[in-house]
Structure 1
């Protein structure tokens, strides 16, 4: 392969972005017109996965109490209870989180706060 001219020693690329905090860590956010990827919040996705896994473990009878399961997982029962509440989210909100199309205000910290149990009210709050 031949090149038409000399290769420059330095190439400068300008990428507009800003730093935002998501899930307790900093993340680069590109402008909407520059971003073709989803904004998947891995911390939130992992919390959802844990919530549904823990729920199955409790429903199957593998563990009889949240305190027993929390002890095995090495976390506080109060934290486990807050994460387990994620299983009560409307299916379309869960899907948006998994696809990375949720609103920027939908973070793990915000989702661990009390939220309405009625799906329509959840949509009004998070969509």
Structure 2
């Protein structure tokens, strides 16, 4: 068994996002830092780690760190690797095509803005993707922030299809909301 060690620095606020079938929100569920360190971690010391099954949680006072040790097993089958913890295998979240396109759009626009590529044509040649696909994915980055959040976090407020989003849409966010209300599977009643 391999051991996964996660070290969180408590000197800076850290937000842990929790998502799952029951909780699809992107709200922080834990924040740590000197002022808001959880009470159970203040009592930890390097000489006295707290054990949870085979897992350990230590507070390293000198480094101002929280050290979490979790035993894992990496199982490789074909080209796929699965991480198994004492609680069972870690499930990989399958991204929708729309989520993937939006993430690609943000990545591609960053590459263009940073000057890594001078044009969409050069980027398309390097990525081995059609120029039109890159342009459509980059256009997704112009979606209203609440629509992007609903797509990425699967909040359920806006449920859109990739076909609807890759077609031309208005650039003003208020007009976008009206436009996508006609095409959405589900949309917020007050939005």
TM (norm. structure 2) is 0.44
> Aligned partners of 1:92 and 1:62: how far apart in 2?
29
Alignment partner of 1:46 is 2:88: no
Per the TM alignment, residue 43 of structure 1 is displaced from its structure 2 partner at its CA by: 1.1
The structure carrying a bigger helix percent of its residues is 1
Unaligned residue ranges in structure 2 (runs of 5+) = 1-20, 25-93, 181-186
Per the TM alignment, residue 125 of structure 1 is displaced from its structure 2 partner at its CA by: 2.1
Per the TM alignment, residue 41 of structure 1 is displaced from its structure 2 partner at its CA by: 5.8
Contact 2:147–2:158 (8 Å) recurs in 1? no
> Aligned partners of 1:97 and 1:54: how far apart in 2?
18
| 1:33-112 paired onto structure 2 within 5 Å | 36=22, 42-100=96-154, 101-104=156-159, 106-112=160-166
Greater alpha carbon shift after TM alignment, 54-63 vs 40-49: 40-49
Partner of 2:171: 117
The structure carrying a bigger strand percent of its residues is 2
Per the TM alignment, residue 83 of structure 1 is displaced from its structure 2 partner at its CA by: 1.2
1:60-111 Cα distance to aligned partner (Å, 9 max, x none)? 000000000011110111111111100110111100111211444x111110
> Aligned partners of 2:22 and 2:177: how far apart in 1?
25
RMSD of the TM alignment (CA)? 1.9
TM (norm. structure 1) is 0.65
Greater relative contact order (Cα < 8 A, sep 6+): 1
Displaced runs of 4 or more, over 2 A:
35-38
Unaligned residue ranges in structure 1 (runs of 5+) = 1-34
Q: Tell me, what secondary structure is at the counterpart of 2:168?
A: coil
